[in-house]
Amino acid sequence: MMSQDVILNDGHNMPQLGLGLMRFGSEAETAAVLASAADAGYRLFDSAAIYGNEQQVGDGLRQCGLVRGDVFVTTKLWNTEHGRDKSRTALEGSLQRLGVDQVDLYLVHWPLPMDDLYVETWRALIALREERLVRSIGVSNFTAEHLGRLIAETGIVPAVNQIEMHPRFQQRALHAFHREHGIISQAWSPFGGGGTGGVPLLGEPVLAAIAAKHARTPSQVVLRWLTQSGASAIPKATSVQHLAQNMASLSFDLDKTDLAAIATLDSAEGRTGPGPLTFAVKHFA
C-alpha cells in the first residue's frame, strides 16, 4: 500500500503518512529500515539537522531502490542557526549531508520567541525557496500567534506546522487555525511519546475498544484519527510489522461514534514534549 498525498498551499503534493527518523540507529540499521519502509510504501522521510543522521538517511535512501523524484525528504533548521545568514549556511550543510540538490520540505524546528529571530529566519527560508534550494517551506512547534505574525509580516503562509498532536493532546484550536489558513498539521509523536505516567496512550481502553471493533491495532486507530482530520503524521517505526501496520491505517475509516470517543481523551495537560513558548535548547549533550 502507498501513502496517499495531501496538497500543500504552494501546490505541491506531500505524502500524508511518513516515517519519523529522530535518533535512529547505526548507518546499517538506518539503511535497513529505510529499505523496509520503501517496500511498505513510504515516500516521506522526516529528518533534521539536530538528529545527526542526515548523511546516513541520504545514503540509505539512495540504497533503497527509489528514484529521487519518488522520495519526499524533510529536514529542519536547528535553534543555533536562526537568522538570515546562518539559515542559508545551515541548509547548505543539510543538502551536502543528505546528498541532494533540493529538499522537499524545510522547517524551522522551533520558534525560540525569546530570541525574536523567527520572522527573520522565515524570510530567509522564503529566499531559499525562491532559489529553489527547497521546494516547500514550513515550521515546527509554532503557535497560532507565531504563525499569525509570520503571515502578517511576510505575506507567506507556511505549508506545514509540525506539532505534538495525539488523542491526549489534540490541539483542536491550532488545527482549526491551520485549516483556516491552508496549513497542514503534521503530528510528531502521534502515539504520545509513551505518556507521562500511568497508562500509555496506546493502552487506553477507549482506543482498544475502537481497535477491536475494526479489527485493527490502537496505533492504527490513532493514525487514522489524524489522517481523517486532514493531518499528516510521521510515526517512528523500525520493524517490518510496525511499518506495514502504520501504512495500513489508511485503509479503513473511523465513524462518528469512534471520533466522539477519541475526543474524550483530550486534555490540556496532555503535552509530553517541550512547550514552544519556553523551549530554548541550543545544544544537546
Choosing from 42, 51, 106, 118, which is the catalytic residue?
Answer: 51
* Residue the block writes with cell 529521487: 68
- 3-state SS assignment for residue 97: helix
The one-letter code for the residue type at 47 is: S
Q: What ranges in the chain are assigned the alpha helix state H?
A: 27-40, 54-63, 84-98, 118-130, 144-154, 172-181, 205-214, 218-228, 240-248, 256-263
- Residue 94 exposed, middle or buried by CB count within 10 Å (0-12, 13-18, 19+): buried
- Residue 154 exposed, middle or buried by CB count within 10 Å (0-12, 13-18, 19+): middle
State the Cα–Cα distance between residues 126 and 192, nearest whole angstrom.
32
State the Cα–Cα distance between residues 185 and 50, nearest whole angstrom.
21
- 3-state SS assignment for residue 134: strand
What cell was used for 56? Answer: 546516513
To the query of whether residue 51 is one of the catalytic residues in this protein, the response is: yes
Q: 10 Å Cβ neighbour count for 281?
A: 12
State the Cα–Cα distance between residues 215 and 93, nearest whole angstrom.
45
State the Cα–Cα distance between residues 202 and 205, nearest whole angstrom.
9
Residues with catalytic annotation?
51
